[in-house]
Amino acid sequence: MSRVWNFSAGPSVLPLPVLERAREELTDWKGIGASVMEISHRSAEFIDLADRIEADFRRLLGITDDYAVLFTAGGATTAQALIPLNFAAAGQTVDVVVTGHWSKTAIKQAAPYVRVHEAATSAPSEFTTVPPASEWVCSEDAAYLHYTANETIHGVAIRQVPQDLPANAAPLVVDFSSSIASEPIDVSRYGILYAGAQKNLGPVGISVVVVRRDLLERAGQVRADIFDYRSHVARDSMLNTPPTFNWYLLGLTVEWMIAQGGTPVFRERNEMKARMLYDVIDGSGGFFRNPVEPAARSIMNVPFFLPSEDLDARFVALSRENQMLGLKGHKAIGGVRASIYNAMPVEGVETLASFMREFRRTHG
């Protein structure tokens, strides 16, 4: 049984050495005689593991002690609801920049708790652009300004904090679910960054929330203790039983990324991988089409369309026969989508690029 090239958008491919190590350690972790998922999260061994994972994660992203790092059960969508509860007063305004599907889910999850103001939207371009930051309309009293670093479905990215943010912009809260650790970022520019793990960090079922500590002083809104990020910080992400196995797998993935050379290496590799696909698309005489403005294109998710829906389906079916998995586009926009996260090797993308050229030759 061999492994295919897995282009799934999330849950998605994990590094093979991570899976092999997990398999090796599955029945007997560290000579304990039990797996990591069978022991207490309060055991000295697990607490030591959790400490080490936090230290590695901070090192990978360059996170200083001015920020708290939380590992929480639940997904990015959970964070999209908890962030307004924790960091905005009831009915307070939050500014949101809308660049695609996940910006809209952030609005939907926040709407019961706050007044959402759309600071900018690229809906008129059908989410193929990023509205220039100089034109974002920020509210005077906003609790924070939310945007999505990488729109996983539309393939649109705001890779770095825009230089020309409005002077009155509130602290940035950024959804990094599908691009965290894909390249270096300056964490000090953000108030909060959060990510579900299942795109670039590990398995589904755990998320990371990185919060500038001064924001934790905010009163927020009435909420149960279990929804209170301050409580989670005070208890080192062990307020209740954490998803220990997911946490462990996330740790192995982070360790692998550091061993690979960290985010500078991934930036170079990811840009190269993305360029290979965009080059085939742009050089195909319109056979493959990616509608995103080049400056806004994602280096993690590359959506594209063939001349007809029939050809999209044929392409996906034939790719599966050629040992490539997960290329069907999201149902919201259709077409084809190649997700090429950190764990996707260059060789996998080369295989897809050759397959695309061959498909065009035989079907164009």
Ligand X SMILES: *Cc1c(COP(=O)(O)O)cnc(C)c1O
Indicate which residues carry an active-site annotation.
102, 175, 199
Residues 6+ apart with CB under 8 A from 80: 105, 106, 108, 109, 110, 175
Of residues 93 and 109, the one with the C-beta less far from ligand X: 109
Residues 6+ positions from 37 with CB-CB distance below 8 Å:
244, 245, 248
Instruction: Count CA within 13 A, CB hemisphere, residue 55.
Output: 6
Decide: is 196 part of the binding site for ligand X (CB under 6 A).
yes
Give yes or no for residue 252 binding ligand X (CB under 6 A). Answer: no
Which range of residues in 30-38, 65-73, 123-131, 170-178 is near ligand X by CB under 6 A? Answer: 170-178
Site map 116..155 versus ligand X, x via CB under 6 A: --------------------------------x---x---
In the complex, minimum distance from the CB of residue 301 to ligand X, in angstroms, rounded to a whole number: 8
Helix axis angle for 346-363 and 309-321, nearest 10°, is 130
102 binds ligand X (CB under 6 A): yes
Task: Sketch the per residue contact string, 207 through 246, with ligand X: x for CB under 6 A, - otherwise.
Answer: ----------------------------------------
**Residue number, 147 or 256, with CB nearest to ligand X:** 147
What x/- string results for residues 7 through 26 when contact with ligand X is judged by CB under 6 A? ---x----------------
Note the Cα 130 to chain centre separation in Å: 18
Does 199 bind ligand X (CB under 6 A)? Our answer is: yes
Q: Are strands 5-6 and 324-325 parallel, antiparallel or unpaired?
A: parallel
Of 8, 86, 177, 319, the residue at the interface with ligand X (CB under 6 A) is 177
Alpha carbon distances (Å) from 286 to 32, 90, 281, 360: 58, 50, 8, 10
> Cα–Cα–Cα angle for 103, 104, 109, nearest 5°?
100
How many residues bind ligand X, per CB under 6 A? 12
**104 lies in the site for ligand X, by CB under 6 A:** no
Nearest distance in Å: CB 147, ligand X: 10
Touching ligand X, residues 59-88 (CB under 6 A): 75-77
* 287 sits near ligand X (criterion: CB under 6 A): no
Q: Which of 235, 236, 193 is nearest to 215 (CA)?
A: 193
Residue 99 within binding range of ligand X, rule CB under 6 A: no
Binding of residue 298 to ligand X (CB under 6 A): no
Q: Which stretch binds ligand X (CB under 6 A): 172-180, 226-234, 242-250, 282-290?
A: 172-180
| Bond preceding residue 11 cis, omega within 30 of 0 | yes
Distances from the Cα of 323 to the Cα of 9, 68, 311, 327, angstroms: 16, 42, 18, 11
When asked if residue 56 is in the footprint of ligand X (CB under 6 A), the reply is no
The neighbouring-strand residues paired with 289 are 305
Nearest to 215 by CA among 86, 116, 301: 86
- Interface contacts to ligand X, rule CB under 6 A: 10, 75-77, 102, 148, 152, 175, 177-178, 196, 199
